[in-house]
Amino acid sequence: MPVVDVHTHMYPPAYMKLMRSRDKIPYVRSFPDDPAAGDRLVILPAEDTASTTRGRPIGREYFDVNEKIAFMSKHGIDVSVISLANPWLDWLPSDTAAETARLVNDDVESMCAQHEGRLYAFGTLPLSAPAEQIVQEVSRLATLDHHRGVVMGTSGLGSGLDDPALDPMYAAIDRTGQLIFLHPHYGLPTSVYGERASDYGHVLPLALGFPLETTIAVTRMLLSGVWDRFPRLQVLLAHSGGTLPFLAGRIESCIAHDAHLKKEGKLGNRRDVWDVLKNNIYLDAVIYGEAGLKAAVDTSGAERLMFGTDHPFFPPLDEGEDEWLSVKLNSQAVRSTFGNNTKIAEAIMGGNAKQILRL
């Protein structure tokens, strides 16, 4: 059974060029007062503390496809489904978004074609463009040989994924049999991290802001009835669903006890979170531990869980560490939770992705 990585990013050359041309977040640049730090990737809204203003280092592993292939070979990964990393095209002006999306998606498609059988992709949508241009790109992506869906953040058209104006996009994704890979970027308001946030580097926004952002976005989709209107729509959630599998019972209970929803007649004919988790949600296995994997399998089923690495984020901090700790933690967690070489472990490591994504 192949090992497949469904959560692995790149900034293709067309995107890097844009990032290098900017001086507002998101951007890539070096700092003359610290030449040893090299190029830095500054993308997160939370990168406003003393320890985070200069973002994180960025090297060839972010944009050179040969580095991706070398990383895969080193870690025994047969196939990767690459996606543009955050913040995608969310920040582009409306009039250039559609053309940029085509450029970036074509860049990625040609990388996949150069490495036939090893690379597939989730494409990027021009979410700041008019609705018909978004739908056009969804339809175009469905015709590209190596694309299997779209990656997106939680902002939608600017007001979240519970926005009814997204219905044409959801309909097009559903109609073309693609899936949404939903990935966080915006985190939580930086005020929640407190006065000493700068003592803690990127830990709070990445470990907690990201998963809570995903959890809130999906819960809003559920509450707004996205899956009642599009009962077949499939969404792959980053980081094993944030905290959704753990909180599903509480979410359901809060819905069932909400007087406002009852008064509005919204409690009658609705699909509950358990039903959606089992039939519409795929989860990646990027959770680095047994407890998270068990919650994921309990709520969505082992056949809906797929291995990922989040490469090239979370690189080793020390020179000469060949095997990435972030990869090892995830693959070991799968094996220690489900057994070495068991059918279920093999399915999560690649079999599920092969079937679900038609690889």
Residues that bind ligand URA (CB under 6 A): 9, 43-44, 85-86, 206, 310, 313
| Strand (E) or helix (H) holding 29 | strand 27-29
Please choose, from the candidates 151, 124, 11, 8, the residue with its C-alpha nearest in 3D space to the C-alpha of residue 69: 8
Nearest to 305, CA basis, from 336, 276, 246, 346: 346
Cα separations in angstroms, 51 against 86, 193, 273, 341: 20, 13, 38, 42
Candidates 124-132, 169-177, 201-209, 310-318: pick the segment binding Zn ion (CB under 5 A). 310-318
Q: Is residue 174 a contact point for Zn ion (CB under 5 A)?
A: no
For residue 239, the minimal CB distance to ligand URA (Å) is 9
Q: Which is nearer to ligand URA, 86 or 240 (CB)?
A: 86
Smallest distance from the beta carbon of 179 to Zn ion, in angstroms? 16
284 binds Zn ion (CB under 5 A): no
Residue in 173, 310, 327, 338 binding Zn ion, rule: CB under 5 A: 310
Q: What is the largest CA-CA distance in the chain?
A: 62
What are 92's two structure tokens? Answer: 């582009």
Phi-psi region of 300 (alpha: psi -120 to 50; beta: other; left: phi over 0): alpha
16's contact among Zn ion, ligand URA, none, with CB below 5 to 8 A by partner kind, is none
Pick one of ligand URA, Zn ion, none as the site partner of residue 306 (Cβ within 5 to 8 A by kind): none
HSE-CB at 84 with a 13 A cutoff on CA atoms is 32
Residue ranges with strand state E in 183-301? 235-237, 281-284
Size of the site for Zn ion (CB under 5 A): 1
Q: Which is nearer to Zn ion, 90 or 310 (CB)?
A: 310
Site for Zn ion contains 5 (CB under 5 A) = no
227 interface partner picked from Zn ion, ligand URA, none, CB below 5 to 8 A per type: none
Q: How far is the CB of 238 from ligand URA (least distance, A)?
A: 7
Which of Zn ion, ligand URA, none interacts with 86 (beta carbon under 5 to 8 A by kind)? ligand URA
Report d(CA 322, CA 145) in Å as an integer. Answer: 33
Residue 221 contact, options Zn ion, ligand URA, none, Cβ 5-8 Å cut-off depending on partner type: none
Among 302, 205, 284, which Cα is nearest to 244's?
A: 284
Stretch that binds Zn ion, among 26-34, 149-157, 172-180, 306-314 (CB under 5 A): 306-314
Tokens of 91: 């920040």
List interacting residues with Zn ion (CB under 5 A).
310
